[in-house]
Amino acid sequence: MNIYAKLAYTILGFLIVLNWGFLMGATMRKIGARMAGRHGIPFKQPWINLFKSISTRTVITHGIMYYIGPVFRLTGGIGLFLFMPMVFTGSPDGPWTNFSFEGDLILIMYFNVFGMLGMALGAGEGGHPYAAMGITRGLAQHAAVELPLTLAFLSIAIQFDTFSIYKIVEAQQGGIMHWVLFTNPFAAAAIILAMLGALGHSPFNLVKAPNEILIGPATEYEGTYLGFMMSAGATLHVMEAVLFMNLVFGGATSWLELIVKSFLIYFWSVFVGMVFPRFKIEQSVTWFFKVPLLLGVLAVIIFMF
């Protein structure tokens, strides 16, 4: 495919992902509100919040790293998008495969952590003493989530003998029984449990929950910085759902399928969040080190021999 056509498809795809992320976030908040018996926010609220944040007249900066923090986070989201095959069209050079290549699974795992590290650097320069504390807790939980996730990814990579997400999706085509969910149930179970932490909903949202006293990394961010972070959050939510969809639930053959599947994957974390109250960091870290980690180790051991 012509590189310019590919670029056009990629930009269009990103716009779809960003707007779908906003709409999905609003829908989930609406569902939460309906469960509590409220009307909840209007569907257009995330876009209004974005415009309002950008329109702030005074914006305080604490230095260059503080400025780069949200940029890093958005870069993490865009990086996840750029190297992820979105829609399976039967050819690795198809229109919606973006810039995926052999071995992109490793790069995607790196981009997963990238945003968090950027925020750590930015919040560190913010000078707010609680921000450092919040980001420490965030990184601790993220490390605990990454371990079972990485083991499950490794197990899937060994199973299909490739680090290419496109090939993993290709191998799962041809019916629901070909999905990793059924061919590698231990890795799938590890991912489904660890995903709760990766998507960052209750009970694992202590790090960014606004009503905690230590609100963490975002305390000092305002205006345009906050707008950046909201865009990054929307992108990351969709992209993580798409990653798990590609690895476990057979990928998508059309945008409609992608939207339905990513909605259901994201809804799983919201569903759990509605039922369970928030965990403390030490509780969530021990939780991830118990069942999900064991499942991940089991998945790797099974496919090693």
89-116 core/surface letters (b: 16 or more CB in 10 A; e: else): eeeeebbbbbebeeebbebbbebbebbb
- The minimum distance between CB 38 and other proteins, in angstroms, equals 4
State the DSSP string of 263-287.
Answer: HHHHHHHHHHHHHSPPPPHHHHHHH
Residues 85 and 98: beta-carbon distance below 8 Å: yes
Residues 41 and 33: beta-carbon distance below 8 Å: yes
Q: What is the DSSP letter of 87?
A: S
HSE (side-chain half, CA atoms, 13 Å) at 280: 2
Q: At 252, which amino acid appears?
A: A
Q: Show the tokens assigned to 26.
A: 């609003």
- The minimum distance between CB 53 and other proteins, in angstroms, equals 8
> Residue 52 interacts with other proteins (CB under 8 A)?
yes
Contact residue for other proteins among 5, 11, 15, 42 (CB under 8 A): 42
Q: Considering only 107-115, 166-174, 183-191, 214-222, which stretch makes contact with other proteins by CB under 8 A?
A: 214-222
Angle made by CA atoms 254, 161, 296, in degrees to the nearest 5: 85
> Residue 277 interacts with other proteins (CB under 8 A)?
no
Contact residue for other proteins among 15, 43, 55, 176 (CB under 8 A): 55
Contact residue for other proteins among 226, 232, 234, 252 (CB under 8 A): 226
Q: Which is nearer to other proteins, 213 or 275 (CB)?
A: 213
> Residue 175 interacts with other proteins (CB under 8 A)?
no
Q: At 224, which amino acid appears?
A: T
> Residue 221 interacts with other proteins (CB under 8 A)?
yes
Query: Which x/- pattern, by CB under 8 A, does the window 115-154 give for other proteins?
Result: ------------x---------------------------
> Residue 63 interacts with other proteins (CB under 8 A)?
no
> Residue 174 interacts with other proteins (CB under 8 A)?
no
Contact residue for other proteins among 59, 71, 272, 297 (CB under 8 A): 59
Query: Which x/- pattern, by CB under 8 A, does the window 8-37 give for other proteins?
Result: -------------------------x--xx
Q: At 298, which amino acid appears?
A: L
